[in-house]
Structure 1
Amino acid sequence: MVKKWARLFQQGRESCEHDPRTGHPVTVVREENVRKIEKLVLADRRIKLWQIAEKLQEPMQWTKKGERPPKKFKVQKSASKLMATIFWDSEGVLLIDYLPKGTTMNSQYYANLLAQAREAVIQKRRGKLSRGVLFLQDNASVHTARVSRQALKDTGFSEIDHPPYSPDLAPSDYFLFSNLKKGVTWS
């Protein structure tokens, strides 16, 4: 860029200003923006460039010349995330647990869920526990913790090895998502 400007001055250019271009109005350098930036910098001399840009950024929308943009709706707080732990088999869903807000999934919480899953098998799949339950889970730290491993042994479930670094549990997903497609409501 420096070489370009040096060449232009050697060719007789005298101004450092950019040449006017059609179709690209200069709307950023306005007196209003200059005052806003000056106020921001005087309030906090350590303000970062990205912070200034963030505070000056206005929502952009194409409108006809002279028209005002449409009014924006009041932004409402979105629904927060919710973690659900679902235990299911080939016959359908056995148990759904929603992690309470502000709670973290840990090995003790998961151990309690395994005990609830065992009770769900006893109540919903009579006789299945005595024939043996094969249990598949991923290698998350909550699942591999000592407390969780002991709880799994206490349930009497036989764990199926999950391949390390496997991105999903695709073989078992079929039974869960086929029920979702049917529009089944669970309680």
Structure 2
Amino acid sequence: MSRSRVYQWCTWFGEGRTSLGDEPKSGRPKTSTNEENTTRVDELIRCDRRMKIREIALKLEIPKSTVHEIVHDTLGYRKVSARWVPKMLTEDHKLQRVEISQRLLQRCQQDHGDEDTTHIGVGPGGDFQANNNLFDNLITGDETWVHLNTPETKRDSMTWKHPSSSVTKKFKVQRSAAKVMATVYWDAKGVILLDILPQGQCINAARYCSTLDRLKEAICRKRPGLLRRGVMLHHDNATPHSANLTQQWLQR
């Protein structure tokens, strides 16, 4: 407590004050943030998590400022976005992923290897030779569409605004319809190959095998000795990956 505050309390006690509590304050008493309104606001939010403060105020016929105080200060709510997940997995999908993870863990724990493996790897349904440096020999690949023009998001364009400065404007821009297919291969050390198809072309088995040829050359340049130890190629079971032509390339 500051010295001036101590002097103030001494003055009050000298004038006859005996209570340490706050004195009744003048002005209109606060009635909107009572327990009844708090309960009603909480019930509305629990029924509809996306209801806006303006809608709650209209429904309960109380000021928006009061609703804001109840929601944020009294009830402790805050607006958040839903957590993004790549896919909606069924129970079977989850069990399959657990089983695959357990098999992968077992392979990591194996205490033997094959230093004479010279093929680049095999695709879905194949088999690999286990070794001590499993992830050192693992290369992952996948394709994705890359739009030639991706507009800046609203969050990315946020800036600090001074009260005296004017409001910035941003014109709505649609994502470009023009796009190209990119194939990326990487390992624990980084990207090995980035292959981009000409605009308007899609990946097929023949093109995928051609990309694997370039991948093999990139491995020789960027990961010397890796082909001799044996590479395990990790990709999904998309049609170009599981086609007979691709399987023949992988098994050669």
Q: TM-score normalized by structure 2?
A: 0.30
Higher RCO (Cα < 8 Å, 6 or more apart): 2
TM-score with structure 1 setting the length: 0.40
